[in-house]
Amino acid sequence: MRLLPSLLACASTLGFVALSLPASAQTADELETIKLVFEELQPKSFVRNAEYCGYIGYRDDGELMVSVITPGETDGCSPVWPSDFEPVASFHTHGGYDPGAWSEIPSVDDIEADADEGVDGWVATPGGRLWFLNTEEMTIRLMCSLACLDQDPDFQRETEIIIDDFYTYEELVELEEETS
């Protein structure tokens, strides 16, 4: 699995990254793989203060795949839908730390975009948090807390809002309205 960073470096050339992982225990494989993807993307995201995004999914033979990684802008990214495998989730970073930005919790737009595409989502934050967006249940769950992924060197802990480990879609909408 330590080969993933070099494989990701080739992703834009090849169009995808093939990872030889068994289809059984998909959740564990997806979590392990997405952490490795973000290990590669977080530092780039901080330096550029921009999002990076893509998809994770399975080919017909059960092989776990990572799509082409797409660089985005400070507040958005539009990944390229893969043609060689069926995505199960999108993923994206939230760029570099900005005290004025909503970046430590996935946004309503994040989960709505995934739901519109019919996939779940993974989000990495400047504080090094990893979130899973379940679009079937419309819930947002913290998978690992502060600094479990690379953290922006400029990151400062939020003081204005308390970040919970779990949100429903309705709670997230309410939280965004309260903090706007």
CA 89/CA 14 separation, integer angstroms: 20
The predicted structure's pLDDT at residue 59: 94
The predicted structure's pLDDT at residue 102: 83
CA 26/CA 171 separation, integer angstroms: 28
- Residue linked to tokens 């949100």: 167
Share of the chain above pLDDT 70, in %: 84
Q: pLDDT tens for residues 50-94?
A: 999 999 999 999 999 999 999 999 999 999 999 999 999 999 999
Encoded tokens for 98: 């900005």
- Residue 78: half-sphere exposure toward Cβ, Cα within 13 Å: 0
| pLDDT for 146 beyond 80 | yes
What helix, strand, coil percent values describe the chain, rounded to 5? 30, 25, 45
Contacts of 63 (CB under 8 A, 6+ apart): 18, 19, 20, 21, 23, 85
CA 44/CA 12 separation, integer angstroms: 15
The predicted structure's pLDDT at residue 25: 31
Mean pLDDT of 11-36: 58
CA 10/CA 132 separation, integer angstroms: 26
The predicted structure's pLDDT at residue 100: 83
Structural contact between residues 140 and 133, judged by C-beta atoms closer than 8 angstroms = yes
Domain boundaries, the chain: 4-179
Mean pLDDT of 88-106: 94
Mean pLDDT of 104-119: 97
What are the b/e assignments for 86-107, b being 16+ CB within 10 Å?
ebbbbbbbbbbbeeeebbbbbb
Structural contact between residues 114 and 22, judged by C-beta atoms closer than 8 angstroms = no
Beta pairing partners, 87 = 57
Q: The pTM is what?
A: 0.86
The predicted structure's pLDDT at residue 4: 44
